[in-house]
Amino acid sequence: MSETAISLTTPISEATARKLRAGDRVLLSGVIWTGRDAAHKRLVAALDAGEPLPVPLRDQVIYFVGPCPAPPGRVIGSAGPTTSGRMDAYSPRLLWEAGLRGMIGKGERGPEVTAAMRECGGIYFAATGGAGALIARSIVKAEVVAYEDLGPEAIYRLEVKELPLVVAIDAQGGNLYERK
């Protein structure tokens, strides 16, 4: 893990994404979008139907999270990452067809996802699983923008300030989950 963190702001260009390496520490700022399985299923269904996506994903970052409701006076409740593997069935489509640049979650990704990341210049960040109260401090604004009926699985637009992440899998195939 590198000593100093790289500051990044969304949207992220392909050129920037391709420069990141597995093990880089990143402080991410800007707008990101939340999405779990149920939202991903609908996004891919929209692609299948040739319908526009409810949120623009080109050069954007999706955070795999279903946050707790915001307590009074707070922007959001606890908001740590969920297991990314459940999104493996959908992520390649978003990388290929919607121009998605980055994903934030926890745990390994399948070979189809890492292959699509290499082709499209995608990047996969790990956030600290089980540290949702700490992570919530980096979220300065949150609003539901799509699929509200899904409750915690709705798509939120989040504004984050210096969200601490680690590049877990890069666009060159570098992968922290592959143990030597």
Partner 1 sequence: MEIRIDRRTPLERMRVIPFQQVVDAVTNCCFEAAFRLPPDVLRAIREAAERESTAVGREFLRQYLENARIAETENMAICQDTGFAVYFVEMGENLRIDGGSIYEAISAGTARGYQEGFLRKSIVSDPLFARRNTTDNTPPIVHLTLVPGDRLTVILAPKGGGSENMSALRMLKPSQGRAGVVEFVTETVVKAGGNPCPPTIVGVGIGGTFEKAAFLAKKALLRPLGEPHPDAEYAALEREILERINASGVGPQGLGGDVTSLAVHIEHYPCHIASLPVAVNLNCHAARHAGFEL
Interface ranges with partner 1 (CB under 8 A)? 1, 23, 38, 65-71, 74, 77-80, 82-83, 85, 106-108, 126, 128-134, 136-137, 150-153, 166, 168, 176-177, 179
Q: Min. distance of Cβ 160 from partner 1 in angstroms?
A: 15
Q: Min. distance of Cβ 81 from partner 1 in angstroms?
A: 9
Q: Min. distance of Cβ 44 from partner 1 in angstroms?
A: 16
d(CA 20, CA 35): 23
Residue type, 164: P
For residues 112-135, one letter each, b for 16 or more C-beta atoms within 10 angstroms of the residue's C-beta and e for the rest, the string is: ebbebbbebbbbbbbbeeeebeeb
Residue number with CB closer to partner 1 (75 or 145): 75
56 prior amide bond cis, ω within 30: no
Residue number with CB closer to partner 1 (119 or 148): 148
Q: Min. distance of Cβ 136 from partner 1 in angstroms?
A: 6
Residue number with CB closer to partner 1 (11 or 152): 152
Nearest to 103 by CA among 94, 112, 153, 79: 94
Residue number with CB closer to partner 1 (135 or 171): 135
Residue 130 in 3-state DSSP?
Answer: coil
